[in-house]
Chain A
């Protein structure tokens, strides 16, 4: 979009976020108003993160079999890793050593580029072993329904997802570039994070199911002028003849229809077509290089798309990975399933470090990556349940989300490899600090420079990760 076109449209570039949802019939959720100054606590690293990648290990993830692996076999039946990077405090399990993607010619090339297994890069990842939805609660919430609600929105029954909150928190953000537009955070599959009611409804992130094909249409480029006039005429007539009380949603549709023209350009950019087998580097890495690093899974494609969206100023992406609700067959199935996750972690680590950011430095410098799940998993005292799987209940194994986090600000603070807290190997009791999940999400919003004062008044952001 050049300057002329901006003048013609009269479009306020900052209006995208405000215009994400122009009208909604959602009912407002009543809330208690609390003066914002009392809850405007900020971290020292406020505003230091430009992009956030949040990946849900879907279905409930057995964290003790991965990121908190130095525990008793009834919590981690797969055993701890045989080795890990020097300086890593946290305990990777043997499953994180699995790296078939580093085998063969491709694997050799990736190693040449600096890619290692998760255990080999454990010193670049920090883990928070005890993240809890409700630190003051007597037991875990191992319910698929309410546990997931807490994960995607902070509370059971909350109607506004974390990513809607992020968009709201960043509502006054400036465009990434002078000629750019303000893209919102995106949800790449799974709509829970994108819920929103009341005044937050307008900040719901777009939910992409299959790339950008659905957003890039430009009517002006496809229709002859007479057809555009016909279309406009039909809409205007319908608006005018409808009862005045019923007009606002029609007006919202007409306005959003007009606005889509301005975003067609960005969504039609070939850079966002990550399925293309391109060797053309963009921000330092081609599609094919990214594919080699991240793999060819749906999550990998979503990550590729997300990284390209970051170029255009998108602040955050969320996606699901895996399918870990393995009440049966976990013993046989989890090792294979986790290999994809391992490649995502290792590949993302390398990709972020290899890509040059438009604002200078690498994407690693500006990005925070985090993995979570609705709850952990338990075999209730055995290594596996009777179906060789694991369940979820109210115990510590279900309770603690041992969440890995990586990115430039963690490393620059000297916290790569750190374990923020810990658990007893025998009974999984917390040995250090227990972090509130809501506080963690507010921390992320704070790192991104967002206004989080309206969310989770009883939970504060914390600066431990960057201190």
Chain B
């Protein structure tokens, strides 16, 4: 109710400068319309599973496999369409190695986590994956809003969103730009161009060299060479880190400004100054701004212009660094490597360069449509194959990916599966308290419309953010505030203790109260008060394994659980279900996938 009052009050003073629903302001608004950059008719999602070419000796995994003429002919004859499969063939089937079997429930669960950031229930596995080709499954996941949401979070980690260093309006703008990339309405090179001149990057870093470094790290995967650094930094000398006063938020926000390093005191651009604003390494590119009526002398005595009043053509001019990098093969290879790493957790592009080459070709064939790249990797056999069981060699691509789950994925999944109430966090507003404390209605409304949840109002009428989710997730490495570094993944005694404690709160095996509803832990037709029998114990276990782990139970498990049912003498269904919940949710199978 309080929130409604805030929103109504804020609405009354809303104007066209600021919307707390979408406060985005920046160049993302100038690119990408409704038209998709490709037809979306991605191929390669339905390759026949190849078998290994019969060979006398399989390769020794101390060296990369060597694919000879017969091997190449074998791979060509397979007529594989998936670019990853095509690329990996000469290091897998062609040299006599087998992939691991594809276990549908396991692969489907992996796709859910990687595509939409949540473990599926058994029902979702059946509904989404059974009876469908992997291509159909992949495209159905890619078309979900959660696919976009998850990748927004990935980019917030890469660009280190932090409202203390960058204006919140710019962060929202970048978030919108990422959405366009993953909805296929802008191409990857266009995306990179906008990022290269976006205040989220330029304001986050302090000097032209820092900005060049950051751009190279983001899109080339390596630091710039000395000549590259010197040359491209000339295109970044125009940026200046300043502030602007936000009339609605009542805050002074950090933001990028334009300065005029190539304009002399006489207001003219001399040849000498011109050279210091010109890149020549990738062709002749001059980036010179001259002061006009929009410029002003700031408190530091510098003549600058706030980037919030740049025109569309000026934004485009500033995007030269990203445009230049996109002309380099490494730019596209890095994009491919990033996606391979995102899905596989290891650098297949380096280990089997043919995979990278095939994927770059595929990516360009779809005009840099990021969805194509995700589709191709998600439907490839190296990705879909099982992680279970051993293989005769240790070549990493001969068995499936195995990774630790992100803390947000872990908590979100448990919340979704059990209905346990816990708030959430918002990667765009890293410091919600600063907006609440700004003393403006717009600041409160912005937090309220974000993914943060307002918990209550204190005696003085101040609202507070519910940090229950952040307090659980941040010690595990998620919900970073990005002040220094960001997301991390670690297994330690204390992170494990934190996880076990959270599972304990959710499952409440000691019946302390405040756990998830017993309804979420029992099959539909079972009551918590029902007397436990071995049959019922098995039914409960089957239900929970299906619900939480998305798979069917094994015969061995079922036999064991019947014994546990007998040991739980005199138990009700609830008394068995809550400890079972703890056992299932705290298993390593929930932490890795």
Pair A387/B493 contact, Cβ less than 8 Å? no
Indicate with 1 or 0, residue by residue over A228-265, a CB within 8 angstroms of chain B CB atoms.
Answer: 01110111011101111110011011101101100110
Indicate with 1 or 0, residue by residue over A1-39, a CB within 8 angstroms of chain B CB atoms.
Answer: 000000000000000100111111110000000000000
Pair B485/A234 contact, Cβ less than 8 Å? no
Pair A191/B387 contact, Cβ less than 8 Å? no
Quick check: is A93 within 8 A (CB to CB) of the other chain? no
- Count residues on chain A whose CB falls below 8 Å from chain B CBs: 84
Say whether, besides A25-B489, A230-B560, A253-B491, A263 and B588 are in contact (CB < 8 Å). Answer: no
Pair B567/A226 contact, Cβ less than 8 Å? yes
Pair B434/A323 contact, Cβ less than 8 Å? yes
- Give every chain A residue within 8 A of B475 (Cβ-Cβ): 191, 206-209, 214
Pair A243/B491 contact, Cβ less than 8 Å? no
Pair A210/B471 contact, Cβ less than 8 Å? yes
| Bound-complex Cα distance A145 to B163 (A) | 11
Quick check: is B474 within 8 A (CB to CB) of the other chain? yes
Nearest CB in chain A to that of B584: its residue: A234
Pair B299/A209 contact, Cβ less than 8 Å? no
Quick check: is B488 within 8 A (CB to CB) of the other chain? yes
Quick check: is A328 within 8 A (CB to CB) of the other chain? yes
Interface residues of A in 153-170 (CB under 8 A from B): 153, 159, 161
Pair B404/A25 contact, Cβ less than 8 Å? yes
| Bound-complex Cα distance A355 to B25 (A) | 54
Quick check: is A312 within 8 A (CB to CB) of the other chain? no
- Give every chain A residue within 8 A of B165 (Cβ-Cβ): 143-145
- Give every chain B residue within 8 A of A389 (Cβ-Cβ): 252
Pair A204/B388 contact, Cβ less than 8 Å? no
| Bound-complex Cα distance A161 to B205 (A) | 20
Quick check: is A110 within 8 A (CB to CB) of the other chain? no
- Nearest CB of A to B384, in Å: 15
Say whether, besides A206-B475, A207-B475, A327-B243, A223 and B579 are in contact (CB < 8 Å). Answer: yes
Indicate with 1 or 0, residue by residue over B205-232, a CB within 8 angstroms of chain A CB atoms.
Answer: 1100010000000000000000000000
- Give every chain B residue within 8 A of A380 (Cβ-Cβ): 299-300
- Give every chain A residue within 8 A of B568 (Cβ-Cβ): 224, 226
Quick check: is A393 within 8 A (CB to CB) of the other chain? yes
Nearest CB in chain B to that of A207: its residue: B475
Interface centre among A144, A152, A249 (most CB of B within 10 A): A144
Binds A, one of B131-139, B442-450, B499-507: B499-507
Quick check: is B408 within 8 A (CB to CB) of the other chain? no
Pair A260/B500 contact, Cβ less than 8 Å? yes
| Bound-complex Cα distance A242 to B589 (A) | 10
| Bound-complex Cα distance A21 to B490 (A) | 7
- Give every chain A residue within 8 A of B470 (Cβ-Cβ): 209
Indicate with 1 or 0, residue by residue over B470-490, a CB within 8 angstroms of chain A CB atoms.
Answer: 111011000011011100111
Pair A230/B564 contact, Cβ less than 8 Å? yes
Pair A26/B488 contact, Cβ less than 8 Å? yes
- Nearest CB of B to A81, in Å: 28
Nearest CB in chain B to that of A232: its residue: B583
Say whether, besides A144-B254, A242-B387, A243-B388, A217 and B488 are in contact (CB < 8 Å). Answer: no
Pair A246/B564 contact, Cβ less than 8 Å? no
Nearest CB in chain A to that of B246: its residue: A328
Quick check: is B204 within 8 A (CB to CB) of the other chain? yes
Pair A231/B587 contact, Cβ less than 8 Å? yes
Quick check: is A446 within 8 A (CB to CB) of the other chain? no
| Bound-complex Cα distance A148 to B485 (A) | 10
- Give every chain B residue within 8 A of A22 (Cβ-Cβ): 491-493
- Nearest CB of B to A376, in Å: 16
Bin chain B's interface residue count: 35 or more
| Bound-complex Cα distance A144 to B160 (A) | 12
- Nearest CB of A to B370, in Å: 24
- Nearest CB of B to A160, in Å: 9
| Bound-complex Cα distance A249 to B589 (A) | 12
Quick check: is B366 within 8 A (CB to CB) of the other chain? no
| Bound-complex Cα distance A141 to B210 (A) | 13
Pair B490/A204 contact, Cβ less than 8 Å? yes
Pair B583/A214 contact, Cβ less than 8 Å? no
Interface centre among A25, A192, A243, A382 (most CB of B within 10 A): A243
Pair B484/A149 contact, Cβ less than 8 Å? yes
Say whether, besides A24-B491, A214-B498, A238-B589, A230 and B404 are in contact (CB < 8 Å). Answer: no
What does DSSP make chain B's interface, helix, strand, loop or mixed? mixed
Quick check: is B245 within 8 A (CB to CB) of the other chain? yes
Interface residues of B in 299-315 (CB under 8 A from A): 299-300
Of A146, A215, A254, which is within 8 A of B206 by CB? A146
Of A144, A246, A382, A393, which is within 8 A of B402 by CB? A246
Quick check: is A216 within 8 A (CB to CB) of the other chain? yes
Pair A206/B492 contact, Cβ less than 8 Å? yes
Quick check: is A225 within 8 A (CB to CB) of the other chain? yes
Quick check: is A222 within 8 A (CB to CB) of the other chain? yes
- Nearest CB of A to B591, in Å: 6
Of A159, A191, A206, which is within 8 A of B494 by CB? A206
| Bound-complex Cα distance A202 to B493 (A) | 10
Say whether, besides A231-B583, A242-B388, A215 and B481 are in contact (CB < 8 Å). Answer: no
Pair B588/A192 contact, Cβ less than 8 Å? no
| Bound-complex Cα distance A23 to B479 (A) | 21
| Bound-complex Cα distance A325 to B586 (A) | 41
Quick check: is B390 within 8 A (CB to CB) of the other chain? yes
- Give every chain B residue within 8 A of A24 (Cβ-Cβ): 488-491
- Give every chain A residue within 8 A of B250 (Cβ-Cβ): 328
Pair B497/A263 contact, Cβ less than 8 Å? yes
Pair B299/A146 contact, Cβ less than 8 Å? no
Nearest CB in chain B to that of A240: its residue: B388
Pair A243/B501 contact, Cβ less than 8 Å? no
Pair A148/B483 contact, Cβ less than 8 Å? yes
- Give every chain B residue within 8 A of A238 (Cβ-Cβ): 587-589, 592
Quick check: is A69 within 8 A (CB to CB) of the other chain? no
Pair A19/B497 contact, Cβ less than 8 Å? no
| Bound-complex Cα distance A235 to B160 (A) | 35
- Nearest CB of B to A28, in Å: 14
Say whether, besides A190-B483, A230-B583, A209 and B389 are in contact (CB < 8 Å). Answer: no
| Bound-complex Cα distance A227 to B579 (A) | 6
Indicate with 1 or 0, residue by residue over B550-593, a CB within 8 angstroms of chain A CB atoms.
Answer: 00000011001101100110000000000110111011110110
Pair B567/A253 contact, Cβ less than 8 Å? no
Quick check: is B58 within 8 A (CB to CB) of the other chain? no
| Bound-complex Cα distance A67 to B533 (A) | 71
Pair B509/A222 contact, Cβ less than 8 Å? yes
| Bound-complex Cα distance A210 to B502 (A) | 13
Quick check: is A455 within 8 A (CB to CB) of the other chain? no
| Bound-complex Cα distance A163 to B532 (A) | 51
| Bound-complex Cα distance A267 to B513 (A) | 21
Indicate with 1 or 0, residue by residue over A184-213, a CB within 8 angstroms of chain B CB atoms.
Answer: 000000111001000001101011111001
Pair B251/A328 contact, Cβ less than 8 Å? yes
Nearest CB in chain A to that of B560: its residue: A233
Quick check: is A59 within 8 A (CB to CB) of the other chain? yes
Say whether, besides A192-B483, A208-B475, A238-B588, A243 and B164 are in contact (CB < 8 Å). Answer: no
| Bound-complex Cα distance A22 to B404 (A) | 14
Q: List 6 A-B contacts (CB under 8 A).
A: A143-B241, A144-B165, A153-B484, A227-B579, A253-B592, A259-B493
Q: List the 4 closest A-B pairs by CB distance, nearest first.
A: A192-B484, A227-B579, A327-B252, A246-B402
Interface residues of B (CB under 8 A from A): 100, 160, 162, 164-165, 204-206, 210, 241, 243, 245, 250-252, 254, 299-300, 387-391, 394, 396, 399-400, 402, 404, 433-434, 437, 467, 470-472, 474-475, 480-481, 483-485, 488-498, 500-502, 504, 509-510, 556-557, 560-561, 563-564, 567-568, 579-580, 582-584, 586-589, 591-592
Interface residues of A (CB under 8 A from B): 16, 19-26, 59, 141, 143-146, 148-149, 152-153, 159, 161, 190-192, 195, 201-202, 204, 206-210, 213-217, 219, 222-227, 229-231, 233-235, 237-239, 241-246, 249-250, 252-254, 256-257, 259-260, 263-264, 267, 323, 325, 327-328, 380, 382, 385-387, 389, 391, 393
Q: Can you name 10 extra interface pairs (CB under 8 A) apart from A19-B493, A226-B568?
A: A23-B491, A144-B162, A149-B484, A191-B475, A206-B492, A227-B583, A249-B402, A323-B433, A323-B434, A386-B299
